[in-house]
Amino acid sequence: MINLFNAPDEYVQGFFKSGQAMLKAFSGLGSAAKPPTQETARELARVAGTYWEKQAALWTRSLAAGSGNGLEPVVDAERGDRRFHGEQWSKHPWFNLLKQNYLLNSQLLDGMVEAAAMDPREKHKLRFFSRQFADAMSPANFASTNPDAIFGALESKGETMQVGLSNLMEDMRRGRISITDETAFEVGTNVAASKGSVIFENELMQVIQYAPLTDKVASRPLLIVPPCINKFYILDLQPENSFVRFACEQGMTVFLVSWRNPDASQAHVTWDDYVEDGVMKALDVAHKVSRADQVNTLGWCVGGTLLSSALALLRARGDESVASLTLLTTMLDFEEPGDLGVFIDEANVLQREMTIGKGGIYRGAELGFVFQTLRANDLIWPYVVNNYLKGKTPAAFDLLYWNADATNLPGPMYAWYLRNMYLENNLREPGRLSVCGEPVDLGQIDVPTYVLATQEDHIVPWRSAYRTTGLTSGPTEFVLGASGHIAGVINPASKNKRSYWAGGTQGADADEWLAGAQSMPGSWWTHWAKWLKPQAGKSVPAPKKLGNAAFKPIEPAPGRYVKVRAD
């Protein structure tokens, strides 16, 4: 609700465009629609017939329930849908009828969208925004139609309403929905608390070297490049779920890039700057401090895209200082970008280029809202209901604290990224894209590569991540983790939860790989550590001091940059 006041232009325009597309699709007008066919007409008739048949059954059973009989459901919420878990949604005839009527209407809308004869990309947009509309219209989201909110207000003599209104006013003041107790965490104290030092900084980033946790370490260090659209400490939340700590425990010397949260002084920073002054400089620091022959590298999401761009550039320059590449939920081929693709077309990208492409800042709050809409029933509406209708306070959750810690992006970098990756998909084509003045070819990346995708990823669909295996030329290990973009990556080995798939025969088809892959219980972290060991070099004594004479410690980890909050 409050986020909708700050929705980015792409979201608002998407609603209007999708509504127009639906009208065109069912009237046979406009370029988005294909000429209506008998098959489309028959499918629409089937959808409508099923809907009215179930409506008749619903009202018949509702009248029977009014006579004292139980109301047998005509339709149930999907598994995992937590909106209607309250007892009154099933026990009270009126609210049960309201719930089932909503679910039937949602099914009707879904059926109409699927029946529409449209271009697949346009249908994807229509499917996304129609689902956004249906989710927003749930009776659970309104005080007058949510029995838990109504009975809670009666039992508390209005106190829940008063607290809920206070929560709403506070969130309006801050411009975002509260999704966790932000007072429970402090960066550098109980999140991002791994010991280390900042040993280099420039206007774009800091390089952190973490303290060793073993007496012996691998001679080749690990450089981690996190996404610049989020704070790095998703990889270092708390000791029990810190990937940084896990890597150190495996005997690795870990270096990590901490991106600066851009302000007006960085309004002209470009993609090339992120590659040259960010990734390339961090590689140089890790190489010189460790004095190793090569450096192992790991990138997550857009950090992986930046890292791959840098490695392709290094190969074009004849540099062989990198020993291996690990990509976590990263896209290099943007042919099928998933739900994020609904926000991107020529008009929207051109608008960004004209407004902030020559200089400006893309606010982290806008980007955060876009990501929340991909899972609105997990990251938007439950907090509207609990915070405002029920007067509750969100629980403390480190991952959601990180999620709410927004990061800005420089306008030129962001606009270039949208056009060359999402819109034109230039990186996958050898020599089509120039980075730092040099045509790059991902096929020149011939180092061992570990590619992790996650099965339920809404940001980087796993089949899109799989395409990386056909772009680089070195030996590739593809692994599919359970869960989504964040939870699938942050799956601590010590908790032994979830599962992953590995060992399939790699070819052009992702589903064929999955059919031959083996399901493994637990975390992919241990699988990755075993994969990395042959690339890690010999065992040497752990360094007694961090940095060296040229790169002296500047301040303790996590450093200043990560603590800067976006406006």
Q: How far apart are CA 502 and CA 325, in angstroms?
A: 17
Q: What is the C-alpha end-to-end distance of the chain, expressed in Å? A: 20
Residues 564, 362 contacting (CB under 8 angstroms): no
541 three-state secondary structure:
strand
Kindly give, in sequence order, each residue whose CB lies less than 8 Å from that of residue 544, ignoring residues fewer than 6 positions away: none
Q: How far apart are CA 229 and CA 261, in angstroms?
A: 9
Residue 202 has what DSSP assignment? -
Active site residue 301: yes
Residues 3, 176 contacting (CB under 8 angstroms): yes
Alpha carbon distances (Å) from 397 to 37, 181, 402, 403, 404:
51, 7, 9, 10, 11
For CA atoms 555, 558, 562, 564, give the dihedral sign.
negative
Q: How far apart are CA 243 and CA 497, in angstroms?
A: 15
Q: How far apart are CA 70 and CA 360, in angstroms?
A: 61
Residue 509 has what DSSP assignment? -
Residue written as token pair 């940095």: 547
β-strands 322-328, 295-300: how paired? parallel
Instruction: Write down the catalytic residue from 228, 248, 301, 436.
Output: 301
Q: How far apart are CA 221 and CA 144, in angstroms?
A: 58
β-strands 205-210, 196-201: how paired? antiparallel
219-234 burial string, b = 16+ CB within 10 Å, else e?
Answer: bbbbbbbbbbbbbbbb
Q: How far apart are CA 167 and CA 169, in angstroms?
A: 6
Residue 3 has what DSSP assignment? G
Report, as residue numbers or ranges, the catalytic residues.
301
